[in-house]
Amino acid sequence: MGAVQDGEQDLAERIGGTLVRRHSTAVVLFHHAVAERLGLGPTDHKCFDLLRERGSMTGSELAAVTGLTSGAITGVVARLERAGYLRRVPDPHDRRKQIIAPAPQRVRDIQTVVSPIKEDVTALLDRFDTHQLTAIAEFLAHTTDFAYRHAALLRAQKPMLASTRAPQQREAVLTNGEGGRDHD
């Protein structure tokens, strides 16, 4: 392999490892800060974000997208509704169901909170040509799809057993009665 190919391989490994992981962590922490600023929990904020992105849906559909239980989604919907972030309307096809929809004013509130970082990203993207922007867009689209797919695959697997954890982690699980799952 030539020096150029070695350099490309090293860069690809750096992107696929360190840089993606750092980016992911920074994005998670940023969205925690956004949620805090909006008076929401991180899960509630991201569920609201999914409604903004995908449009109105039932609680069952939101549960399927997120992997949260129906009970957890009920709590998320109730908190978002109390805070004015969404509204419930009867499903026109099945009166037993309700459609949850984002409240337009709250969408504007979130846009106001995230606009400074959006402006920074736009300024950065102005430095790239069309070919580079196409590559960035393709990378983001595919890695987003990968993240959704791998999240679903991980949820389909059994949780790791307590016996595979370090001794202090096993002790914390046993002491806290968490039944084999770590909680944030």
**Confidence band (pLDDT; 50, 70, 90) for 164?**
low
Tell me what pLDDT residue 183 has. 38
For 68-100, what is each residue's pLDDT tens digit? 999 999 999 999 999 999 999 998 888 888 999
Q: pTM here?
A: 0.76
Tell me what pLDDT residue 173 has. 43
Give the DSSP letter string of 41-98.
-HHHHHHHHHHHHH--EEHHHHHHHH---HHHHHHHHHHHHHTTSEEEEE-SS-TTSE
Gap between the Cα atoms of 97 and 91, Å rounded: 5
Highest mean pLDDT among 50-54, 124-128, 160-164: 124-128
Higher pLDDT, residue 178 or 118: 118
Residue 99 in contact with residue 88, Cβ under 8 Å?
Answer: yes
Tell me what pLDDT residue 146 has. 95
Tell me what pLDDT residue 1 has. 54
pLDDT of residue 139 exceeding 90, the answer is yes
Token readout for 12 is 């690809």
Tell me what pLDDT residue 93 has. 87
Mean pLDDT of the chain: 87
Tell me what pLDDT residue 163 has. 62
Tell me what pLDDT residue 127 has. 98
Count CB neighbours of 76 within 10 A: 25
Residue 42 in contact with residue 31, Cβ under 8 Å?
Answer: yes
Domains detected in the chain = 3-117 (1.10.10.10)
Tell me what pLDDT residue 96 has. 86
Question: Can you name the residues that pair with 86 across neighbouring β-strands?
Answer: 102
